Structure 1
Amino acid sequence: MGNQVEQTYDIMEVCLLAGKIMLQSGAETYRVEDTMMRIASSFGIVKTHSYVTPTGIIFSAEGDEPTKTKLIRISERSTDLKKVALVNSISRNISSGTINRKQALEQLNEIDSMDLSFPLGTQVAAATLASGCFMIMFKGGWNDFIPAMISGGLGYLSFVCFHRFIPIKFFSEFLASFVIGLLSFIFVKMGVGHQLDKIIIGSVMTLVPGLLVTNAIRDLMAGHLVSGLSKGAEAFLTAFAIGAGIAVVVSFL
């Protein structure tokens, strides 16, 4: 009996670790719940229940012994779809019987400790190029391509730097959008840029929470009202911070 209880807790640990990695990496609520239930079912626990929110996971398992429940807290969230894909791969390997519980836990711990994000220089370069392309996509002129690239790249760099010193997304996004608005205004005043609105729109697109909005809508459509509303509120705060930063520049300069 004791060994069976210990084994159940080990399986729950694997499920919760997989769910934690996916939720921290930007996965949808339904995907997190489905992955945990599939892993538990593959290890022989058929009756499971999960409750996932952006800030925590509650997972319980039913069997011959009393129901066991575990809770894990999610304090940090980012976007790392590579980790989501890796966890999905491990889940498929568990379902096919390729790896056992111990191997799955080791691989999940390895993924959890990985830093798969691109180097800062690569991120800034991508944001720089994307800002110029977004500006063209919103029907801006090619003579504003370079100003939009510089504003967007420096704005994204300032967002990363501010977030390291102020670990509150609202303030770092507000300050980054303020930098973007200020640089765009300077370029237009110097005669280097021409369409202020197009430069600003293209530059702030790298800060827009596109994945968060998509996941919020997807969760609401799937019936996960708590997760959908909380993610939608977070996306709204991000959009408000970006708009407020630009509004300060436009209003006072």
Structure 2
Amino acid sequence: MDLKKLLDMGLELGYRLQVSGAETYRVEESINRLMQAYDVDCETFAVPNSLIVSIRDENGEVITGLRRIGYHGTNIDAVERCNTICRKIEREKPDLETAQQMLSDEYKKIRTYPLLISLLGYFLASAGFAVFFGANLPEALFAGISGVACGLSLQFMTWLHANDFFQIIMGGFVIAFTTQTFAITGLIQRADAASIGALMVLVPGLGITNTMRDIIFGDTQSGINRLVQVCISAAAIGIGTGSALLVCRAIYGTAEVSLTSMPDSAIAQCISAFIASIGFCLLYNARTFGMCFCALGGVPGWLTYLLCVDLGLGDYIAAFAGAAVVSLYAEIMARVRKFPATSYLTTSLLPLVPGASIYYTAVHLLNNDPDAFAARVMYIIGYAGALAVGVLLVSSGYRMFSTWKWFRKLERLGKARK
């Protein structure tokens, strides 16, 4: 067996998963599954910016491969395809040439939406979350326009090969400047609701949650790496937003910054969250009618959050319960539709991420209010931790149950052979 070819296959599979936004454990698990299909001992170490895989040959010699990971995005279609083909190879155990061709053919099937569809995603995500955070329909329309402007600016910065930090600064500046301009010219009344809705396309809410998940799950180095990336992204949003507010104050003599309130109707919140999640499905490259299932999970999660808040249980307990319900939905759908749970978790968790808090953290820093800034930061950390624990509780429970079922199956097979 050509072990170097097998190692290259594992590195390429892990690379595809990591750049598509797969979790650390999924990257390592998928590579290990591929190696186990050919009875090869394997050790895998994945962090957000690199991947190391070591295998041992028949003579006990260790062969190690390293792959540097560059730009990270979220590509649900790629994660689903890589996960599916990996399990198929593990199940069928084809020869290496056939397996390599299977992987290559599956990689070629990965597609991305054209620019117009992506801009539609920016519009739906921004407008939907604007309503979610208290905007009326006209304000949501202008929030969607700001989201489209942000999408165009990100595309332009990508064309210039700018790094993520400067892309997010530009995106935050465009959103804050356009929404403030709309407010000052009288087109909208609540600039904050429109800004927060549009900024959700930049907020690293899932990054915060994944950071806490990695740390709690034991992937400390990966978690710390993600934490640094999240802090840099949050700082970039603050710099971009703050710069826009300063420019608006210099040009217009004022800039509106006030706390927004969410709509009273839970139905309106759920509908707007669903629409926004559909927009994110387009941005995250989810395909066909599966988008509806990916977006639908946010509804029971948000209703659970509202119920806990109404019962006086507090934001942290509400976030924990909502995340647990979303994670349960994702695990059920993963087994019903035979796709990774992360496909449903990625978008369904969006209504629960602390996007507004990140925006107001930047505002407090701009207004030179260190006490409010520190309080917001501590709230975000606690809230993200509650989300992560809720997700991990359910996902770990399902994994333990699956392991128990597997050993029970092996025991039954052993008894049958006797």
Write out aligned runs for 1:230-245 (5 A): 230-245=225-240
Structure 1 pair 112/213, CA: closer, same or farther in 2 (3 Å)?
farther
1:91 aligns with 2:77: no
Q: CA RMSD in A?
A: 1.8
- Aligned counterparts of 2:107 and 2:70: Cα–Cα separation in 1: 14
Structure 2 counterpart of 1:59: 53
Say if 1:77 and 1:108 are closer, same or farther in 2 by CA, change over 3 A.
farther
Return the TM-score normalized by structure 1. 0.91
Residue 140 of structure 1 is aligned with which of 135, 141, 145?
Answer: 135
One of 131, 137, 146 as aligned partner of 1:151:
146
**SS of equivalent residue, structure 1 residue 61:** strand
Q: Give the secondary-structure state (helix, strand or coil) at the position aligned to 2:5.
A: helix
The CA distance in 2 between the partners of 1:36 and 1:53, in whole Å, is 14
CA distances 1:75-115 after superposition (whole Å, capped 9, x unpaired): 23221121111111111111111643222212333444566
Return closer, same or farther for 1:153/1:167 CA change in 2, 3 Å cut-off: same
- Which residue in 2 is equivalent to 1:103? 98
Structure 1 residue 72 displacement after superposition: 1.6
Unmatched runs of 5 consecutive residues or more in structure 1: none
Whichever residue aligns with residue 226 of structure 1, its letter is: Q
1:44 paired residue number: 39
Alignment deviations for residues 143-192 of structure 1 (CA, whole Å, 9 cap, x no partner): 31221111111112211212221421111110111111111111111111
CA distance in 2, matches of 1:216, 1:110: 33
1:127 and 1:164 map into 2 onto residues whose CA distance is 18
| Residue among 28, 33, 48 paired with 2:28 | 33
Q: SS in structure 2 opposite 1:151?
A: helix
3-state secondary structure, aligned to 2:135: coil
- Structure-2 separation of matches of 1:168 and 1:111: 29
More RCO (CA 8 Å, sep 6+):
1
2:77 pairs with 1:82: yes
How much has 1:40 moved relative to structure 2?
0.4
2:144 alignment partner AA:
M
Partner residue in 2 for 1:190: 185
Segments of 5+ residues of structure 2 without an aligned counterpart are: 249-418
**Aligned amino acid, residue 174 of structure 2:** V
Q: Is this contact kept in 2: 1:17–1:108, CA < 8 A?
A: no
1:228 is matched with: 223
Whole-Å separation in 2 of the counterparts to 1:226 and 1:73: 16
| Structure 1 residues 166 and 62: alpha-carbon distance in aligned structure 2, compared to 1, 3 A threshold | closer
**Alpha-carbon distance between aligned partners in 2 of 1:37 and 1:143, rounded to the nearest angstrom:** 51
| Separation of aligned partners in 2, 1:112 and 1:86 | 8
Q: Give the aligned length.
A: 247
